[in-house]
Structure 1
Amino acid sequence: MNRKTLVLTAAAALLTPALAACGSATGGGAGDGAIVVGTTDRYEAADYAPAPLDPAYAYDAGAWNILRQTLQTLMHVPRGGGQPVPEAASECRFTDQGNESYRCTLRPGLKFANGDALTAEDVKFSIDRVLGIKDENGPVGLLSTLDTVETKGEDQVVFHLKAPDATFPYKLSTPAAAIVNSKDYDARRLREGFEVDGSGPYTMTAEVKDNQLVRAVFTKNEHYQGDLKPQNDKVELRTFEDSAAMGRALEDGDIHMMSRTLSPDQIEQMSASPKKGVKLVPMPGLEIRYLAFNTEAKPVDQKAVRQAVAALVDRNELINKAYGKSALPLYSLVPSSIGGHVNSFYNKYGDGDTAAAARLLRDAGVKTPVKLTLHYTTDHYGDGTAVEFETLKSQLNDSKLFDVTVQGTPWSTYRPAQKKGEFAAYGLGWFPDFQDADNFVGPFLEKDNFLGTAYANSTVRGKLLPESRRAGDRTDAAPALAQIQDIVAEDVPVLPLWQAKQYVAARDGITGVEWSVNSISDLQLWELGSGVSG
């Protein structure tokens, strides 16, 4: 998630007409009694991303936050986390001891929002469509272990896997496996624009201004049959330019809740001096941030250079200067709160060790200072990013081992350039697709990985990842996962920096706030209600 990227785009000619009855996108209260949620996620039109809300294309936290409200999946992760449970399905299970065949039975009476019946053929069509389109920006990699999809009658679907994959139920809970209607979606082409149609708890209408989606209005789907229990009839997701504007809207009563992303300063202020009628709600979070390296680009094609960067970074100073209470140091791609985590980078490099970095470069015969540009996006990950990269620059340059410059680029240019391999060293974030260590290593290390990196480790790809996925009891996967994390720390194709804490803020009278965002940063708007909150 992606996860991931966070810009939504579309051709202007295909954009849904603006709503007439929802008020201003930047001021005024909600119309029609809707609960209004603010976000700083950007949804903008651009040629390079024509199908932002097509599940065969969308692979970012912002898009998935819309798809999860509107499209159904066979499974979903319950509000408190844990193992996936049936959603559009009534039952799903592995039918063999090797975790290579997975069968789901659909709930009776499933319908799309337009009233069309939803059958096993629609499930097969939807999954086959993602695999067939195989968009390079899309989530098809999540289905890499899937071989074929078979239907048995109108209500049973059997997934035949290429190799054992105990995480497959989690993957069926993501929008990569969302169910769509063949009347609305072409089997071979992406659906351009902001329209989305499915069988989820809500239908969605988009308001667009200047080629940007500024408001998404979710209305309860009267045909919905599933495991979720919506606590409202209408929710509005409203976008803001920055956290400050979103905060003012909350204080003025123009919105009821602010979600991603509160700034570090807002979190500090709300913690120290709570405002009457507004509550700050902390939540577990699994978002991570990291530096990534194009291992074919100079000077980071030399492992010693990447290792020296890893030794020099002081995560605690970085967090104190840029993020305060909203982040924790991270010494592995796998967050500390996920089973199987190992502090591999701390064990190998510690924090801010100039002597170790000098030794690594000297032993490899690398001439110093090493010239390096660190790239970051200026408008994608929140207010602390520029400070974060200036701090990284200072840490590396203060060692006298590096001569670092930083360069910020708007996301609409940044992500395509990164995918083309134009950056040697660059910052990205990851919002997991599901809560398992596999989702913090596989997407970075498999073939056709999320980064588009040339880095490949045959032991990881050929032995350790398959071995970890055979473990139905996920604790049995820990040894293989530990080896993967140690290999990443040795080779440093990516350098984990920090793990986010999550916060939302809401006005009194809104219930379900504590369940409205789960640990992988998915909005669960169906949990919100109006009433007396604690």
Structure 2
Amino acid sequence: MNRKTLVLSAVIGLLAPTVTACGGSDNGSEGATVVVGTTDRFTATKEAPAPFDPAYTYDTNSWNMLRQSVQTLMIQSKGEGSPVPEAAESCGFSDRGDERYVCTLRKDLQFADGDQITAATVKSSIERSLRINADTGVAALLNTIDTIETPGDREVVFHLKTADATFPYKLTTPVAGIVNPKDYEGKKLRNGFSIDGSGPYTFKADVKNDTLTTATFTKNPLYKGSLKVNNDKVVMRVFDNSNAMGAAIDKGDIDIMIHPTPAQINKLGAGTDPNIDLVEMSGLEIRYLGFNTDAPVIKAKAVRQAMAQIIDRGELIFKVYGTQAQTLYSLVPAGLTGHSNSFFNKYGEPSTAKAKQLLADARVATPVKLTMHYTTDHYGPASQQEFEVLQKQLNASGLFDVTIQGTPWAAFSTVERKGKYSVYGMGWFPDFPDADNFVAPFLDKDNFLNSPYANKTIQQTLIPESRRAQNPIDAAHTMTEIQDTVAEDVPVLPLWQGKQYVAARDDITGVAYSINSSSVLQLWELGHGLSG
């Protein structure tokens, strides 16, 4: 069985990225330190004290820290095809029903401290994530596992509850990472910023006021896996804002900056600095509004439908993101097999008149007064402008009285999971490039949003049916049915999907492969070469 994901735009984007100079070269040189700048914030709080525990964290930024040091059985391939073995020597389904998955470990695997890794270590690591079952919902990725068997020191057998063609992808995610029991207790989260594993790098964190300031990744001499590491060390510096990060790359204090702002992208794309390259890559990032469907203000489906009818995605993108994003009318982004423009098919062009009729038919008094929440520091500074545009659109209809409220991610994510926001803005960077990963995390049991919305047909019939398909094309009709249901019930409201950009000094190589379509940061691809 080989479930290949058809992400043509993503594959093309990665194989032939748009580069203003030579930063896409793949001829790196080992030895020199690469310095990466980011504005991603990593904070340990009382409510979320374990930001880097694989059994707890479920956001792309933290996962990207883990992926450098915590090894998984499988890994996403460089060419964006099916997953390939990483800590494993081989993996595959051993039955026709795709319910028995067997992995054989590489010989003599070790953690960075020299401790041996056996099949029992893998079993205990994955069972730990399932046992802890953190409120982030990350363990749901592994919810098709029934039992894990270890016939020998190198063989791991996964017995699944039901057929799951996406299971190899799930083994590439940090929640399935291999950790040392002496560092990670079986029933307790590991608080703080330590990361230990068997991946390509060891990890050291510099922390101030419970916030990460610098992360140092040093090449692990005991690493055995499928990756070629093109540097000896990567230092990641966390900046307070994008302007400070931009000034640092201008001065040469950092070699790369990830997640530049729309303004920085426009400036660099114009070729204003011959020493800095801007690399554009296709991505599968989406943004959406989430709803607590039990909240009184938006419990009536008509209120959510009216918002879907009013919001003008085209205007939003034009005013905030320009050519760096495109409209999205489904949870599944364009470019993935299974995508359907369900929201456009149902609502068409924005219409205040149609929204007014929806509310009138449901006897909802207007204007509907509500607050939309967004995070100020997780998706970039443009988030505030985005929500100002959304607020203006809804209020201009006369049907809504919307206020907006921004909150730092550390507090925002905790409050959202507790269901205290009626309406909130979120982004999704896929765990793996398959339509299932844009459906199940939002709509299945124990979803990561902790949403009260539960559709039995989706959970009990459609999601399991789609996972039985060996080819995503065979699951497309099921995915369309799911997306049509979402457009009708509006438990979430998709807004846009974006591209990815990395800016780098022109002597840095491997930049074109530094982030894949699932937003996985691949620091091992980076190196120093000749400037262009």
Question: How far, CA to CA, are the matches of 2:426 and 2:411 in structure 1?
Answer: 14
Equivalent of residue 324 in structure 2, options 323, 326, 331: 326
C-alpha contact 1:38 1:239 (8 A) present in aligned 2: yes
Contact 1:315/1:351, CA 8 A, preserved across alignment = no
What amino acid sits opposite 1:192 in the alignment?
A: N
2:50 match: secondary structure: coil
Distance 1:414 1:115 in 2: 39
CA distance in 1, matches of 2:145, 2:422: 33
Gaps spanning 5+ residues in structure 1: where?
1-31
Partner of 2:17: none
Q: Which amino acid aligns with 1:82?
A: G
Q: Distance in 2 between matches of 1:372 and 1:43?
A: 30
Alpha-carbon distance between aligned partners in 1 of 2:246 and 2:64, rounded to the nearest angstrom: 20
Counterpart of 1:525 in structure 2 is: 523
TM-aligned CA deviation for residue 217 of structure 1: 0.7
The Cα shift of 1:273 comes to 3.6
**Is this contact kept in 2: 1:56–1:138, CA < 8 A?**
no
Deviations 1:147-187, CA, capped at 9 Å, x for gaps: 11110111100001111110000000110110011122111
Indicate the larger mover: 209-218 or 487-496: 209-218
- Post-superposition shift, 1:138? 5.0
Quick one: which of 399, 403, 406 aligns to 2:397? 399
Aligned to 2:294: 296
- SS of aligned partner of 2:295: coil
Choose from 504, 522, 530 the match for 2:502: 504
Q: Hey, what's the Cα distance between the residues in 1 that align with 2:269 and 2:439?
A: 34
1:121-154 per-position Cα deviation (integer Å, ceiling 9, x unaligned):
1100100111111111251010011111110111
Which residues of 2 match residues 261-280 of structure 1 at below 5 A?
A: 261-280=259-278
What residue is the counterpart of 2:367 in the other structure?
A: 369
User: Whole-Å Cα distance in 2 between the matches of residues 396 and 452 of structure 1?
Assistant: 26
Aligned to 1:4: none
Q: Look up the SS of the partner of 1:466 in the other structure.
A: helix
Q: What pairs with 1:34-433 in structure 2 (closer than 5 Å)?
A: 34-259=33-258, 261-433=259-431
Note the 1:14-29 alignment, pairs <5 A.
Answer: none
Cα offset for 1:450? Answer: 0.9
Structure 2 residue matching 1:42: 3-state secondary structure: coil
Kept in 2, the 8 Å contact 1:208–1:214? The answer is yes
In 2, Cα distance between the equivalents of 1:395 and 1:496? Answer: 16
Q: Deviations over 1:257-309 (max 9, x none)?
A: 001x2111111111124312100000111111100111111221000110010
- Within 2, Cα distance between the matches of 1:533 and 1:200? 30
Q: What is the identity, as a one-letter code, of the residue corresponding to 1:339? A: T
CA distance in 1, matches of 2:246, 2:60: 21
Please say if residues 510 and 528 of structure 1, whose CA atoms lie closer than 8 Å, have aligned partners that are also in contact: yes
Per-residue deviation, residues 178-219 of structure 1 (Å, max 9, x unmatched)? 001112211111111111111000101111123211111111
1:456 to 454, 461, 465: 454
Distance apart, 1:517 and its partner CA: 0.6
Give me the whole-angstrom Cα distance separating, in 2, the residues matched to 1:57 and 1:302: 33
Kindly tell me the number of residue pairs found equivalent between the two proteins.
502
Please give the secondary structure, in 1, of the residue aligned with 2:439: helix
Equivalent position amino acid for 1:120 in 2: A
In 1, distance between residues paired with 2:83 and 2:232? 26
Contact 1:268–1:325 (8 Å) recurs in 2: no
Q: Matches of 1:263 and 1:326 in 2, distance apart?
A: 10
Structure 2 residue runs of 5 or longer lacking an equivalent are 1-30
Could you state the TM-score of these two structures normalised by the residue count of structure 2? 0.93
TM-superposed deviation, 1:533: 5.9
CA drift at 1:80: 2.2
Q: Over the residues paired in the alignment, what is the CA RMSD in angstroms?
A: 1.2
| 8 Å contact kept, 1:35–1:234 | yes
Please give the alpha-carbon distance, in whole angstroms, between the structure 2 residues aligned to 1:301 and 1:409. Answer: 24
TM-score for the superposition, normalised by structure 1: 0.92
**Paired residue for 1:13?**
none
Q: CA shift at 1:33, angstroms?
A: 3.7
* CA deviations over 1:95-135 (Å, ceiling 9, x no partner): 11111110001111211111122111110010011111111
